[in-house]
């Protein structure tokens, strides 16, 4: 009877002793700074993240807001055909989207249809055919964006509108002129820009014998630099 009782006691004591041994071993290992099987927060990550930092170079953007340029194109003078036109401009960009532009244009009118059909009669002398225009306009960058040319090359662009007033010397008189236009600007660099634009110069004229508002269309392209 005594031997059976001892066997039962030993069979019950062995699991308890094993549990005490495991607990003591776990606490001893945790005390040494290694993984504690009873504490999931002590587990070390299996994969160490390797973050490779890269050097970033900031682009130096010019802060100049004065734009000066020259242009050339074609001017259609109402009743007097189309002629070549050259011009120059100075613009001041006082905000990111708004700018003020002073423009000069020079051309020379050809013969009217009446002069061609009559053969000899001339409505204007050679000096009166000189066309000179000055205007001051306010511009607004309506759709700024980027143009991608080739692979990995992006250029700043803007589609803009213009409106202003000025004076046109034509037919021997200075005429008050309303100027309306649109344009597209592309910047290959931070100091050089290429423009293409269309303008309508509206002024009153009685050269053909009847007072009327004439629309003189100008299509031009040019380059500008920023200072």
Whole-number Å distance between alpha carbons of 93 and 58: 23
- Please provide residue 3's backbone torsions phi and psi, each rounded to the nearest 5 degrees: -65, -35
Single pTM value for the model: 0.70
Nearest alpha carbon to residue 220 among 69, 74, 67, 83: 74
Domain boundary assignment for the chain: 2-42, 66-226
Domain 66-226 has CATH 2.40.160.20: yes
Handedness of CA 150, 154, 155, 159 (dihedral sign): positive
167/170 Cα distance (integer angstroms): 10
pLDDT of res. 114: 82
pLDDT in tens, the chain (227 residues): 555 555 655 565 566 555 555 555 554 444 444 555 555 555 555 666 666 666 544 444 456 899 999 999 999 999 999 999 999 999 999 998 999 999 999 999 998 888 888 776 788 998 999 999 999 999 999 988 888 877 778 889 999 999 999 999 999 999 999 999 999 999 998 899 999 999 999 999 999 888 999 999 999 999 999 98
Given this model, what pLDDT does residue 209 score? 82
* Residue pair 82/131 in contact by the 8 Å Cβ criterion: no
- Whether residue 107 contacts residue 131, with contact meaning beta carbons closer than 8 Å, is answered with yes
| Contact criterion met (CB below 8 Å) for 164 and 136 | yes
């Amino acid at each position: 009877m005594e031997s059976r009782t001892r066997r039962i006691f030993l069979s019950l004591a062995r699991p308890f002793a094993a549990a005490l041994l495991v607990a003591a071993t776990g606490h001893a290992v945790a005390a040494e700074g290694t993984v504690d099987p009873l504490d999931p927060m002590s587990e070390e990550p299996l994969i160490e993240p390797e973050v490779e930092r890269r050097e970033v170079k900031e682009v130096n953007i010019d802060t100049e807001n004065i734009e000066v340029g020259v242009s050339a194109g074609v001017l259609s003078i109402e009743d007097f055909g189309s002629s070549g036109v050259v011009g120059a401009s100075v613009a001041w960009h006082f905000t990111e989207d708004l700018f003020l532009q002073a423009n000069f244009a020079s051309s020379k009118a050809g013969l009217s249809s009446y002069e061609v059909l009559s053969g000899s009669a001339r409505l204007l002398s050679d000096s009166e055919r000189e066309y000179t225009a000055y205007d001051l306009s306010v511009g607004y960058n309506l759709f700024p964006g980027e143009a991608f040319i080739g692979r990995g090359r992006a250029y700043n662009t803007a589609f803009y509108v213009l409106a202003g007033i000025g004076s046109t010397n034509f037919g021997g008189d200075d005429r008050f002129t309303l100027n309306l236009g649109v344009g597209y600007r592309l910047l290959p660099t931070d100091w050089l820009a290429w423009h293409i634009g269309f303008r309508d110069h509206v002024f009153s004229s009685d050269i053909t014998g009847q007072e009327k508002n004439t629309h003189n269309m100008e299509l031009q392209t040019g380059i500008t630099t920023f200072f």
